[in-house]
Every structure is written in C-alpha cells, then in structure tokens.
Amino acid sequence: MATGKEDKIDATQNLTRVTSEFKGVNHLAWGTQASESDDDPRRDGAAAWGNIDDEVADSKLREACGVFGCVLAKDAPLDTVSIAQVIYLGLVALQHRGQECAGIVTSEGRGTRKFHYYKGEGLVASIFTDEQITKLKGSIGIGHSRYSTAGGRDPCNTQPFMVHTRHGPLAIAHNGELINAVALRKTVLDRGVGLSTCSDSELITQMLSLTPPRGEKHGPDWGARIRHLMEATPTAYSLALLHEDKIYGVRDPFGNRPLCIGRLMSLDAKSGGAESPKSLGWILSSESCAFQSVGAMLIREVYPGEIVELGPYGVRSLDLVPRPKPPLSEAAGLPDETDHPSLREAPPSAFCIFEYVYFARADSIYEGQQVYSVRKRCGRQLAIEAPVDADIISTVPESATPAAMGFALQCGLPYVEVLCRNRYVGRSFIQPDTRSRQLAVAKKFGALTENLVGRRVVLVDDSIVRGTTVGPIIRLLRQAGAREVHIRIASPPILHPCYMGINIPTRGELIANNKPLEELTSFIGADSLAYLSIEGLVKAVSEGVAVKNGTSSGYCTACLDGKYPVHLEW
Ligand code: SF4
C-alpha cells in the first residue's frame, strides 16, 4: 500500500508525512525510525518485491535504483506536456530497478525557491494518483525508484534527496553505492556538516552543497562542484541533479552504473502519432527502455566520468573526469623511481556486466546493442561451452528467455515452454509453515505437462544466487513427467559480494561458495549443471558493442572473479 507524503510535517504526532512543497525544511526530519527487524536484509528483500513470491525473489540479485529526469524545451507548450506525467511514466518503465519506494520532484525553473514533490513506499503506480500528479507543477523535474542497499529501508531514505544550498534548493537522485562512503562520511562530518541518515545519497547531496576548494566568483559552479565530488569518490554512481532550470547528469569515472540521454519528441497527430523531429525537451534515464513509453528517442549514453547539463536550450557536455590511476603497488612491473602518475595507465572502465545478464530490461540499449541480443549470444556461447544431449530447451520465465532461445538456436533443438508463471502471487507469510514453504515454487509456477512428458529438458536460467528456487523447480518438472532435467546457467557462478550498489548475499549465503559443482548438481537434483565461463560472458557482451563509451569498454566482473575496479580499503 502506498504511504504517500502529503500536507506538512506534524512533529507532535511523529507521523511519516512531509510537506508536498519543499521550502527548506529538512526532509530527513520526517518519519519514524525503522525497527530493528526493518534492518534485516532478508526481510528487506522480501518486502521489496511486492507481489513477487519471497522464495523466488530471494533467489535473484537485486538492482538498486532507477533515476529519471526531464526538462522541457524553452518553447515547449506547457499545456500539452505534463512534466510529472512524463517522469511518472519513466519511473514505471524503470520499475524493475527498484520496487521499494519512489519519488518525484518538480520545479518551476529559474529563481524558484521551492520544489514540488511527492514520495511514497511501494510500486510507482500505487504511490501516485492523478491528483498528486496534477499538483507536481513545473517545466523540469527528476524522479527515482529505489531498492535499498546503503542506508537500509527507512522511509527517510526515499529519494530524490533535497537540501537548501546557498544557491537555492537542490534535489538529487542516485543509483549506485559509493565504494569509499566511510572515508567520505568522515570528510563531510569533519567539515562540520551533520548527517541525518546512513545513506550515501545524502552524503553526495551534502558534498555537492559544499563550496568547491577554489571558490566561486560568479555564482554556483555546478561543474566544479560535481568534479570535486567525482575526484573524491571514483565509483559507483549515476546521478540526476536538479537545480533551478537545469538537470545535471553524472556517471562515475568507471561508468559502473548506466545513464543515458534522450530527446522528448512531439507526437504529430497528422502522421497518426508517429514521432516528428520537433524536440519538446530532454530526458535523462538509467535505461533507454523508458524512452518509448514517454515518446522520446535515445541520443546517447553519458560517458564514464562525464558531466552533462540538460536545460531549456538543449544538452551540453561540461566535463570528462578521468579514472584515477592505481597506486604503484598495483601497477605491476614499475620500479620505484617511475612512480609518477603520468607513467601509469588509467584502469579501464568497469560497467556492471550484470546489467546485461539480468538487471536491465531486454529492450534497453547499452553501448549501441540491445540487451536482448546480448542475452541471446550468452545462450549461444553457453551451448558451445556446455552442450548436452537432450530433446527440448526451455527456461524459467522470463528473464532468461533470450538466453534459452540462443541456446536452442546454437544446438538446433526446439525451444519449448515448460513452465507457466502465475503473475498474481501474493507475498508469502513471513514465517510460513513447512507445507507452504514446500509449495512456494509450485504456487509461482505450473508445469506444462504435455510439453515435457518423457522428454529430456535443458532448463536455461540467468543465474543461481542462493540456490533456493532451482531445486524445487526441478522437482516440479520431474513430477510432471520430465525424463531428465539439465540446468544451464547463462552467467558464471557468483562468488563475491558487490560493493557498487547491487544487493548480493554474503559469501556464506552464495551457494556456489558452499558446494562444488558436483555436490551442487546432486543437491538441486539435476542430471547435469553447467555455467557460462567468465571469458564466454565477456565475449558474448563485447561482440556486439557498436558504440564505445569514451576511451574503453571495460566491464566489472568483481562478483564473479573478485577483481574490484578499485582497491578496497577495508
Ligand atoms: S560486482 Fe557484480 S553486480 Fe556488482 S557492479 Fe560488479 S558486476 Fe555488477
């Protein structure tokens, strides 16, 4: 249920309500503190998935937010475009990136002293009503949908964050997690700035509110402020910042989280709704899948390290912040006397490879290639690396469907559906009885018996995390008459935690760390089990790259091989 914020702060009743017009009240003052059980990550996850069954949700990785922003062009007719509605539709399209809570902040542009905003918990469609959308006036705004990592699930962490700076209100939407948040937090506190949450998004907000080291002679220099932040923290973040009549789009120097720019098009009635070339404004989005639903087209991705400015007159690139060079101890083969930064190579970019594997919507485009095609290539590569004598290829609907199709194409076997998914499963009880726990997967999936009786089935999935779902699914298929069930995973085993904003269970909870392949195969009850190799995954991803983002196309594979893009200091 939505717990939308309206009216004004009622401190006496300690309610989770906030003003819908931001006029300098510290928004972190609202809400009650989360109970201890709210901080339990497992409970977090279950609640975050809304109507998705706990057991199934728990077996997947979770993305940690979608950001979206829109600014109308100077001559765009305000009566034909509702900025709040565009942002709302954008957030609905990015819902897969975070289902815990969402918010929209709009502004009437230059010289404004207040924002309009509305935030709530739950799915985007359950938070915003027509009435709230109507109240979110303005020609510019940003939005955010969230799944919590740093900062936990306290409602006060709902974004966008807002603060009053010396130069007026500033709002920020953040996807990612700062790898050096602890050190940065100390820096901010040392400068006498108080922090109200554990959220690194608040940290970013406060860092940006500080005057940059060289000062500002002619008003706020947001380019310099953002650069200062980026030099202090190399990864992981994609940001949308709203100030006056501009939105600043920022992607960290490693390009770990995605961000792209689009053009909002007028819909020409004469051509039956087809897009005409006239620009109504500019969009910033975590993924390009949101563009179609708001009538926009992809211009390009924001480059790793780039700061872009979107305003009523268009888009411009303000700066490109380089990746920091590694310390000498990590630059292999260099003798001490050559310890000069200019002699060391900057590391490659580190775009999260799991965006391709699982997080992104299949119709999104990264590096000039559609995610769907990459997943299909992963399936093909998997069939080359781990062929199996079988009758049909299938999948656990739906995220691994393209990989299963690629697998089927490569080995020349038919792709046949064997599972029917119930989309309307409610949440399980927090402490289900044994019988309900046993039925958790059967509640979610039904077997298409006639498609699998007496057949040898290859079931392709995109990942195994805790290994809680795959075993019951195999049992379901066997009970329905499958002769053999072979599991093929279109990504390598997940062995390490992620510190860049993806909620991965602890090392101990990752099933691939607990059981060698043979043991795991018999534990889940499969006839055989194989994963895609890391080299195979990188090959499948790199093959179709059509647009290089800046200087290199590198990928983060840290959860697979433990090689983090930067040195971890703890
Ligand atoms: S560690 Fe894994 S999930 Fe995290 S950013 Fe790297 S590839 Fe993505």
Convert the pLDDT of each residue in 542-564 to its tens digit: 998 887 655 557 999 999 999 99
CA of 353 to the centre of ligand 1 (A): 7
Structural domain includes residue 344: no
Q: Which residue has the higher pLDDT, 129 or 202?
A: 129
Q: Is the pLDDT of residue 78 over 50?
A: yes
The tokens of 511 are what?
């099933």
Question: In the prediction, which pLDDT does 466 show?
Answer: 85
Backbone angles phi, psi at 374, to 5 degrees: -65, -45
Instruction: Please report the pLDDT score of residue 147 as a whole number.
Output: 79
Taking residues 51-77, report their average pLDDT: 71
> Domain range holding 151?
4-54+63-320
Range with lowest mean pLDDT among 88-97, 151-160, 188-197, 283-292:
151-160
CATH code of the domain containing 394: 3.40.50.2020
What is the distance in A from the centroid of ligand 1 to the CA of 350?
9
Work out which ligand 1 atom sits closest to the CA atom of 61: 3
Lowest mean pLDDT among 191-205, 270-284, 359-373, 491-505: 270-284
Residue 266 counted as domain residue: yes
Residue nearest to atom 4 of ligand 1 (CA): 498
pLDDT band for position 151 (cuts 50, 70, 90):
low
Q: How far is ligand 1, taken at its centre, from the CA of residue 369, in Å?
A: 20
β-strands 456-461, 484-489 pairing: parallel
Q: Which residues pair with 283 in a beta bridge?
A: 70, 262
Any domain includes 74: yes
The encoded tokens of residue 102 equal 């969402």
Q: What is the pLDDT averaged over residues 265-282?
A: 68
The reply to whether 240 and 380 lie within a common domain is no
Residue 359 and residue 487 in one domain: yes
Using the predicted structure, report yes or no on whether residue 54 has a pLDDT greater than 70: no
Token digits for 73? Answer: 């062009």
Q: Is 231 left (phi over 0), alpha (psi -120 to 50) or beta?
A: alpha
Q: Which two tokens stand for residue 224?
A: 């310099």
Helix (H) or strand (E) holding 306: strand 306-311
Q: What is the spatial distance between Cα 151 and Cα 280, in angstroms, rounded to a whole number?
A: 36
Q: In the predicted model, is pLDDT for residue 343 greater than 50?
A: yes
Catalytic residue numbers, as ranges = 65
DSSP 415: B
Residue 181, pLDDT above cutoff 70: yes
Token pair of 393, please?
């290829």
Is pLDDT at 201 greater than 70 in this prediction? yes
Residue 4 binned pLDDT confidence (cut-offs 50, 70, 90): very low
pLDDT of residue 312: 95
What confidence score (pLDDT) does residue 1 get?
A: 37
State which of 17-31, 58-72, 159-173, 422-436 shows the largest mean pLDDT: 159-173
Residue (of 304, 205, 320) closest to 257 by Cα position: 304
Residue 255 lies in a domain: yes
Percent of the residues in the chain that have a pLDDT greater than 70, as a whole number: 79
- Considering the domain architecture, whether residues 404 and 478 belong to the same structural domain is answered as yes
pLDDT band at 79 (very low <50, low <70, confident <90, very high): confident
Judge if 510 and 369 occupy the same domain.
yes
Residue 246 amino acid letter: K
Q: Which atom of ligand 1 is nearest to the CA of 497?
A: 1
Look at residue 336 and tell me whether its pLDDT is greater than 60: no
Residues in the chain: 570
Q: What does the pLDDT read at residue 194?
A: 86
d(CA 146, CA 64): 6
Residue 471 located in a structural domain: yes
Distance (angstroms) between ligand 1 centre and the Cα of 515 equals 22
CA–CA dist 377, 117 (Å, integer): 42
Which of 294, 320, 346 corresponds to the end of one domain? 320
Alpha-carbon distance of 187 to 195, in angstroms, equals 12
The residue-averaged pLDDT of 287-301 equals 96
Distance CA 199, CA 193 (A): 14
- Judged against a pLDDT cut of 70, whether residue 375 lies above it is answered with yes
CA 149 – ligand 1 centroid, Å: 13
Query: 527 and 430, same structural domain?
Result: yes
Angstrom distance (rounded) from CA 275 to CA 292: 11
Q: What integer pLDDT is reported at residue 475 of this predicted model?
A: 94
Q: Which residues are annotated as a binding site?
A: 352, 399, 461-462, 498, 556, 559
CB-neighbour burial class of residue 381 (10 A; exposed 0-12, middle 13-18, buried 19+): buried
Judged against a pLDDT cut of 60, whether residue 183 lies above it is answered with yes
Atom 8 (ligand 1) nearest CA: 352
Confidence of residue 193 (pLDDT cuts 50, 70, 90): confident
pTM passes above 0.75 = yes
Q: How far apart are CA 564 and CA 570, in angstroms?
A: 13
Distance in Å, CA 503 to ligand 1 centroid: 9
Cα of 556 vs centre of ligand 1, distance in Å, is 6
- HSE-up of residue 179 (Cα within 13 Å, Cβ side): 23
> Domain boundary residue among 320, 337, 368?
320
Residue 106 has pLDDT above 90, yes or no: yes
C-alpha to C-alpha distance for 531 and 462, rounded to whole angstroms: 9
- pLDDT value at position 535? 97
Instruction: Give the ligand 1 atom nearest the CA of 560.
Output: 2
269 vs 153, residue with greater confidence:
153
Alpha carbon 434 to its chain's center: 34
Mean pLDDT over residues 278-289, rounded? Answer: 95
Give the per-residue pLDDT at 211.
78
- Does residue 491 lie within any of the structural domains? yes
pLDDT for residue 270 is more than 90: no
| The two structure tokens encoding residue 517 | 């392949």
Residues with CB under 6 A from ligand 1: 256, 352-354, 498, 500, 502, 556-559
Distance CA 328, CA 326 (A): 6
Span 6-31, average pLDDT:
33
Residues 314 and 403 in one domain: no
* Residue with CA at minimum distance from ligand 1 atom 5: 352
Asked whether residue 172 falls in the same domain as residue 26, the answer is: yes
CATH number of the domain residue 117 falls in? 3.60.20.10
Residue 33, Cβ neighbours under 10 Å: how many?
A: 10
Query: From the alpha carbon of 496, which atom of ligand 1 is closest?
Result: 1
Answer whether residue 391 is part of any domain: yes
Q: Give yes or no: residues 311 and 367 share one domain.
A: no
Residue position matching structure tokens 């039925």: 439
Closest by CA to 422, choosing from 450, 456, 448, is: 448
User: Using CA atoms, how far apart are residues 49 and 45, in angstroms rounded to an integer?
Assistant: 7
At residue 557, what are phi and psi to the nearest 5 degrees?
-130, 25
Report the domain count for the chain.
2
Cα–Cα distance for residue pair 513/372, rounded to 1 Å: 29
Helix (H), strand (E) at residue 267: strand 260-267
Ligand 1 atom nearest 256 alpha carbon: 5
Annotated binding site for Mg(2+): 399, 461-462
The answer to whether residue 123 scores a pLDDT higher than 80 is: yes
pLDDT exceeds 90 at position 261: yes
Q: Which residues fall within 8 angstroms of residue 439, CB to CB, at 6 or more apart? A: none
Q: Is residue 510 part of a domain?
A: yes
Claim to verify: residue 300 and residue 359 sit in the same structural domain: no
Q: What average pLDDT does the chain have?
A: 82
Whether residue 312 is found in the same domain as residue 440? no
As beta bridge partners, residue 297 has 263
Shared domain check, 359 and 234: no
Predicted pLDDT of residue 48: 29
564 Cα to the center of ligand 1, angstroms: 9
Give me 451's structure tokens.
Answer: 């498609």
Q: Identity (one letter) of the amino acid at 471?
A: G
Among protein residues, the one with the nearest Cα to ligand 1's atom 2 is 559
From 62, 147, 251, 498, the mutation candidate for ligand 1 (largest count of ligand atoms within 8 A of CB) is 498
Claim to verify: residue 274 and residue 221 sit in the same structural domain: yes
pLDDT score of 42 more than 50: no
Number of alpha carbons in the 13 Å side-chain half-sphere of residue 146: 33
| Each residue's pLDDT tens digit, 524-534 | 999 999 999 99
Is 44 a residue whose pLDDT tops 50? no
